[in-house]
Structure 1
Amino acid sequence: MADIEVRGLTKTFGSVHAVEDVTFTAASGQVTGFLGPNGAGKTTTLRVLLGLERATSGEARIAGQRYEDLVQPRRTVGAVLEASGIHPGRRGRTHLSLLARAAGLPQQRVDQVLEVVQLGAAADRRAGDYSLGMRQRLAIAGALLGEPEVLILDEPTNGLDPAGVRWLRDLLRELAGRGRTVLVSSHLLSEVTQYADRVVIIAGGRLRYTGPVEELAGDGQSFEDAFLRLVDDDKQQEVRR
């Protein structure tokens, strides 16, 4: 199994605790939603998980290893932190072909993932002519090239129209159904609850909840109410400090 395990993770920038003692697991065969307000520490956590930042203390592992120790990272992990790292003058197919070549992946995967993300008809257009939603699909295609066991997405619905959001939701459920580990960071609560099995909520860099979606709400309150209560509790604690 290729679970994601974060244990006691702390990341500081000078005197600022971006993430403080965060612990959670994202299991294979499930979609885990990673939720929190802006500035909660979600992206910092993902950057540490993907080896882009070094933890101050604690650890973040994928399939029992740090990202930098993975022998074939693109075959283990596919990730999208932003869709802006695509050269605007490069054609979609060329972009994916270069990624595949750099990772030692077969070129036939390029056409396969283009069909998965429904960009086959636009594959030979320049990325600079793509809409934001199309660039997001192209970035997801790049993440899928290595048929990874783990998929990590940060705000993946950004720029997608309603049909694109539905497509992404179905894709994530399909991947989880095939035993993949899917971790999705988002601020769209109502959307995440439609496809996530479990959620991890952080606020102010600290863990506020981890568990099944259906167990968070209760006693007549909605998921949104419960989320906002957790975030508000965190703000109140900050005021009392």
Structure 2
Amino acid sequence: MHPPHRLEIRGLTKRFGKVEAVTDLTFDVEPGRVTGFLGPNGSGKTTTLRMLLGLVAPDGGTARIGGRRYRDLPEPARTVGAALEASNFHPARTGRDHLRVYADMLGVPTARVEEALALTGITDAAHRRAGGYSTGMRQRLNLATALLGDPPVLVLDEPTNGLDPEGIAWLRGLLRRLAGEGRMVLVASHVLSEAERLVDDVVVMRRGRLLATGPLAALTADGIGLEAAFLRLTGAAA
């Protein structure tokens, strides 16, 4: 694996017409931690992630990984493992063949395909066509794809979607193990009750603006849950 990387967002801003999707957003994400990027749907999380990955051009500010923009990284796909949606699969291709295609693109050994399948618990389903996978299975295959290059940075958008309680517990264990290896793990979610059990640190957004950032324990220090802390910050329903 590559050395640990730090994420630095500084003054990031994006407008779509008259809509301010993200406004003057600044925060850091540290390696060795699972950071929850939290807020209601429409708060600007996915737009921020897309700017981070060079898929959307910001109107202002910067997003840097290890001091560089995503497009300036020597091996971006092997530095950042990103899973933004769980639908980018050829329906007739098996899970294993899907990963082999991406492994060829990344230049990683075929053996890494089997390691990624095992890491995400879908080895037994790898011979089946991805078009027949459940939403939860697609989430696992999407995560396996992100892990192929053994990246030091993981960026996951709503990874608990479609997972049952057992799957969410499994994901929590996997992400903590990956962070324990020194990776930077950023998880975007609008489901605060689930995120509270997944993360070490939080970055909380609402309506495109930063509300709070720091250790989860600090935000919930007086014994209230994350949802209650969010309500206290905003005075609005999460």
Q: Give the TM-score category using the shorter length.
A: over 0.9
Aligned in 2, Cα 1:139/1:220: closer, same or farther, shift over 3 Å?
Answer: closer
Once the two structures are superposed, what CA deviation does each residue of 1:66-110 show, in whole Å capped at 9, x if it has no partner?
111111112210010000111111110110000010111111100
**Candidates 110, 118, 122, aligned match of 1:119:** 122
Q: What corresponds to 2:152 in structure 1?
A: 149
Q: What corresponds to 2:111 in structure 1?
A: 108
Q: What corresponds to 1:28 in structure 2?
A: 31
Within 5 A, what are the aligned runs for 1:1-241? Answer: 1-219=4-222, 221-232=224-235
Q: What letter corresponds to residue 228 of structure 1 in structure 2?
A: L
Once the two structures are superposed, what CA deviation does each residue of 1:2-44 show, in whole Å capped at 9, x if it has no partner?
0111001001112211000000011000010000111100000
Partner Cα separation in structure 2 for residue 187 and residue 234 of structure 1: 12
With structure 2 as the length reference, what TM-score do the two structures score? Answer: 0.95
Contact 1:204/1:234, CA 8 A, preserved across alignment: no
Q: Structure 2: where are the runs of 5+ without partners?
A: none
Q: What letter corresponds to residue 179 of structure 1 in structure 2?
A: G
Partner Cα separation in structure 2 for residue 219 and residue 198 of structure 1: 16
Contact 2:231/2:237, CA 8 A, preserved across alignment: no
Aligned in 2, Cα 1:53/1:208: closer, same or farther, shift over 3 Å?
Answer: same
Q: What letter corresponds to residue 168 of structure 2 in structure 1?
A: V
Contact 1:203/1:234, CA 8 A, preserved across alignment: no
Partner Cα separation in structure 2 for residue 220 and residue 113 of structure 1: 38
Partner Cα separation in structure 2 for residue 149 and residue 25 of structure 1: 16
Partner Cα separation in structure 2 for residue 26 and residue 32 of structure 1: 7
Partner Cα separation in structure 2 for residue 46 and residue 213 of structure 1: 21
Partner Cα separation in structure 2 for residue 195 and residue 81 of structure 1: 18
Partner Cα separation in structure 2 for residue 222 and residue 110 of structure 1: 39
Contact 1:97/1:107, CA 8 A, preserved across alignment: yes
Partner Cα separation in structure 1 for residue 94 and residue 233 of structure 2: 44
Secondary structure (helix, strand or coil) at the match of 1:209 reads strand
Partner Cα separation in structure 2 for residue 153 and residue 20 of structure 1: 21
Q: Structure 1: where are the runs of 5+ without partners?
A: 236-241
Partner Cα separation in structure 2 for residue 218 and residue 163 of structure 1: 27
Partner Cα separation in structure 2 for residue 37 and residue 199 of structure 1: 14
Partner Cα separation in structure 1 for residue 24 and residue 227 of structure 2: 25
Identity %: 58
Shift of 1:231: 3.1
Secondary structure (helix, strand or coil) at the match of 1:24 reads strand
Partner Cα separation in structure 2 for residue 38 and residue 86 of structure 1: 24
Contact 1:60/1:66, CA 8 A, preserved across alignment: yes
